Structure 1
């Protein structure tokens, strides 16, 4: 990380309306509180389902000395500690979110790439059972729905799926 500090020396450690909540979240996950970690967590709160590059652009406005590699390092630490979740939609860069600890899925607009959380109808993992698990003990299923968001529908957009997806059938 390129920037560190302490609460008394760095205004990024507290923010109006955030009485240490972000720092507490980082500490509870077993990580040290640093300015880049706080900035990334703030950016994720403001932009759920964001790529590392998008988060980097936001963090860089707050901490100009922060590198893209530092943001990737923070995201890797957060994901390993269970503070964030990494999703990897087909044909898209990895996205990160703070909603962890539940069994939810995602719906992605095949036109504009907007992402929304979708609660699992079953509730507990795995919500799907494979017809043949090939000897695996399945504990989770990752479901991604693709469709057109309300804005793209209103604009009359046609569905566009990432490479590797089968054609859609009306």
Structure 2
């Protein structure tokens, strides 16, 4: 079975700067702080990201972080994952056709390489004439820690 690469290259500040400018965005301390926060804590919620950013920019508003996250998502610098029954999560890992496994008990999320290795890695029975670009998969299950009684079940 072919899979996507296991090792994921971390983006550099130069790459972030170039990507922002190529999409007509200014390189601001707020944007860089949000990128750093999402890079440091993959699959973090927006609230987690606010806390992380405030460790560097204590006066940034919650609304500013949400606006930056939405903008970075719209230009493909950040991916937004919306697990069932959970707030949206964000990650810096984009464009590599990976998926996620989500623990329905504790909410932990892990990346899962695509089994096919190219987008889209699922083929629908009918595409209705669309040019398919990607498929999002969230595997739901119970993580090893929860299986061993390490976390309380989600109601």
TM range (shorter): 0.7 to 0.9
Change (3 A) 1:115 1:62: same
- Report how many aligned residue pairs link the two structures: 140
**Residues 1:26 and 2:19 aligned together:** no
Hey, what's the Cα distance between the residues in 1 that align with 2:150 and 2:64? 40
- Conserved? CA contact 2:31–2:68, under 8 Å: yes
Hey, what's the Cα distance between the residues in 1 that align with 2:62 and 2:53? 9
In structure 1, the gaps of 5 or more residues are 1-20, 162-170
**Structure showing greater relative contact order (alpha-carbon pairs closer than 8 Å, 6 or more residues apart):** 2
- Conserved? CA contact 1:147–1:159, under 8 Å: no
Hey, what's the Cα distance between the residues in 1 that align with 2:70 and 2:93? 16
In structure 2, the gaps of 5 or more residues are 1-11
The correspondence for 2:38, drawn from 44, 53, 77, is 44
Question: Aligned ranges for residues 1-170 of structure 1 at < 5 Å?
Answer: 21-22=12-13, 24-29=14-19, 30=21, 31-155=25-149
Q: CA RMSD in A?
A: 2.0
Partner secondary structure for residue 62 of structure 1: coil
Indicate the structure (1 or 2) with the bigger Cα radius of gyration: 1
Hey, what's the Cα distance between the residues in 2 that align with 1:121 and 1:129? 13
What's the TM-score once normalised by structure 2's chain length?
A: 0.81
Hey, what's the Cα distance between the residues in 1 that align with 2:91 and 2:146? 23
